[in-house]
Amino acid sequence: MLTTASNSRVTVILLTATTAVLFIGAVWAGQPWFNEPEFYALLVYSLAGFALAALGSFRRWPRVILWLQGVWGVAGWQMALLFAGPGLALLARLAAGDALLAHFPRLAVGSWVVAITAVVIGAVNRPSANATEPSPPRTRLWWAELLLVALLTFIALQLRLIALNQFPTTLAGDEGSAGLAAVEFREGTVTNLFVTSWFSFPALYFAVQSLGIGFWGQTIEGLRLASAVAGGLTVPAVYGLGRQTYGWLTGLIAAVLLAGSHYHIHFSRIGLNNIWDGLFIALILLALWQGWQTGRRRWFLWCGFLLGLSQYFYVSARIFPVLVLLWCLLAGWVQRDRWRKNLPSLSLAALLSVVVYLPLALYFVSHPDVFQAPMNRVTIFDWWLDNEATRFGVSQLGVVLAQIRLSFLGITHQPLRAWYVPEMALLRWPATWLFWLGVGLTFVRQELRGLLLGLPLLTAVLLGAFSQDTPAAQRYVVVCVLAVLFTAVPFGLAVDWVKQRGTAWVRPLMAVGLAVALFVAVADVRFYFGELYEFYTLGGPNTEVATAVGRYLRQQENPEQDVYFVGHPRMQYASHATVPYLAPRMHGRDLNEPLTAPPTWLLRRDSIFVFLPERGAELAYIEEAFPHGRVRQIANRQNELLFLSYEVEIPEP
């Protein structure tokens, strides 16, 4: 305790050292930016640390410090680390700055990592201090279960990694833009993890995505690798969540459904950040439930860390902290004894979450327009709502209610749209009816575990309803994870009910549940890799053209040529970032004005002219101006002409 001389002395030394680091870091990193508010905040924070150390040297610690130490059950030196955490996160923000090129990138990242580490070490206590349940022994059954989950994870990863450059058949323009943002991290033109990059999305995601590009090169596979891994890892996370809430059968059925889900496979194979929210929500809810049930602090710390980290990925994760807080308040109202026991760990989890998120949060405070941008792009609460009410002759409330209805039906009946158009809903029969049965049973039973799954499901559906293009597929990632759990709940509850009555129907029920899950999963897999792409093209015809152009240019022996793109007004060379991503060394130029005569300019290097079919007649003028070239016709799988190319080689002098 801080009241003993030896512990107080150690705490003072550690507090003084960490505060000195903060002060020196503030002066060093803040010299060119003394007018930054973070600089002054860090100076004040450092002075507060020196003041605490001075009081501690006389063993006159403020009562609030002693009270917190007692509540948290940590040592004095751990209190010093907990104090250092927010200061180091503030230093990370100061060292990073607002630009894509960080002022001091190593200091920024290092301070952030050390800040997180300091809070984790400072918050850890003995497992026996507040644990309410012992850890289960590792029996043969435990190892068999682990092997089963590992096998299921392997299958899920294979379904998301195999032929990654072929399914989806096109590379969307937004994927290309995300890939170019990731390449900037590889090339060192962007070094700041704590700002936003393309489309106002946090830059840290693109740094993660750049790891796949570093492994697989600037390819479609490299671009999509991070998403595929995140999607595959969501399967064991869902198993764990289902197992801990409703039993191993629920977890297994949900994991099988998710592993084969046509929807989840699709978004796991797209190089965007949407799929990460499913992984985060499953892990956050699992950690929260385990912490609440067992009282073990490490689970709460995992929950806090994941909450903070999730804010660096897709925008829908911003609601996760609110959901966790709301569930904890409701759970505390029902189980007040556990609330009192778990409150210290919950407060430390909140501190860790804040420290993880703080550098980016302060950036958003300085740039509120950037924070709002992703939501402003899709909200219905602007001109869109007025327009729809006028178009259909109903009230604005009527439009909102219709949106909510569509958003719910997108799970089971209404075909999805926007970023995925499978001409079907999220779930297929018989999972559709099982889902609603699971929701109904959960609602009737009114249990905390049902609230844990139902609250984020309801919130995700409502958020989808309050955005345009409902039911927009890209906003159902969280819904998908929770929907498969609710689909599995009826079997878990049925088995529990049968077990209580000691009947012989347990194994048949398990077999039926697993058979249904396998039937749905296999049907989804066959649909996604077979029937779907007979009628569906990600991004539409122009994306198909852009992907074909990018692949064609990538196959050229000379990777540095002038590419004259003749596609205006339908397309331009860089209207889809697909082409610049796949052919980064090509020099694209647009010929927007129609050609009425052979051009008179000279070609400086080997060149390729790309004509969309509607402007193919102009190819004759290029052939006349630059004879001895080679004409190619590029078609799709249906033998429909996508574009014409004319390759001109310039002989070396």
Q: Confidence band (pLDDT; 50, 70, 90) for 652?
A: confident
Model pLDDT, residue 129: 46
Beta bridge partners of 563: 588, 608
Beta bridge partners of 22: none
Encode pLDDT of 333-384 as tens digits. Answer: 999 999 999 999 999 999 999 999 999 999 999 999 999 999 999 998 888 8
* Average confidence (pLDDT) over 64-89: 91
Encode pLDDT of 183-215 as tens digits. Answer: 999 999 999 999 999 999 999 999 999 999 999
Model pLDDT, residue 392: 87
Model pLDDT, residue 230: 98
Encode pLDDT of 244-272 as tens digits. Answer: 999 999 999 999 999 999 999 999 999 99
Does the pLDDT of residue 7 top 70, yes or no? no
Longest Cα–Cα distance in the chain? 94
Q: Which of 366, 358, 363 lies closest to 116 in space, CA to CA?
A: 358
| Cα–Cα distance list, 230 to 8, 93, 270, 276 (Å) | 45, 27, 11, 6
Model pLDDT, residue 2: 55
* Average confidence (pLDDT) over 538-560: 96
Kindly report the number of other CB atoms within 10 A of residue 213's CB atom.
Answer: 23
Q: Confidence band (pLDDT; 50, 70, 90) for 285?
A: very high
Strand, helix or coil for residue 183: helix
One DSSP character per residue, 590-604 reads E--SPP-S---PPP-
Encode pLDDT of 26-58 as tens digits. Answer: 666 655 555 577 777 877 878 877 777 777 777
Burial zone of 127 (CB within 10 Å; 0-12 exposed, 13-18 middle, 19+ buried):
middle
Encode pLDDT of 266-279 as tens digits. Answer: 999 999 999 999 99
Model pLDDT, residue 426: 98
Model pLDDT, residue 653: 62
Q: What six digits make up the tokens of 461?
A: 């559906």
- State how far the Cα of 462 lies from the Cα of 404, in Å rounded to an integer: 6
Q: 132-142 in b/e burial notation, b at 16+ Cβ within 10 A? A: eeeeeeeeeee
Q: Confidence band (pLDDT; 50, 70, 90) for 143?
A: confident
Model pLDDT, residue 135: 58
Q: What six digits make up the tokens of 357?
A: 């998120």
Of the given ranges (95-104, 315-324, 379-388), which has the lowest mean pLDDT?
379-388
Model pLDDT, residue 140: 62
- State how far the Cα of 409 lies from the Cα of 417, in Å rounded to an integer: 12
Of the given ranges (12-21, 76-85, 180-189), which has the lowest mean pLDDT?
12-21
Does the pLDDT of residue 564 top 50, yes or no? yes
- State how far the Cα of 411 lies from the Cα of 432, in Å rounded to an integer: 8
Model pLDDT, residue 382: 84
User: Whole-structure pTM over 0.75, yes or no?
Assistant: yes
Model pLDDT, residue 5: 47
| Phi and psi torsions of 381, nearest 5° | -90, 60
Does the pLDDT of residue 128 top 60, yes or no? no
Contact 209, 178 (CB under 8 A): yes
* Average confidence (pLDDT) over 307-332: 97
More confidently predicted of 389 and 112: 112
Model pLDDT, residue 6: 46
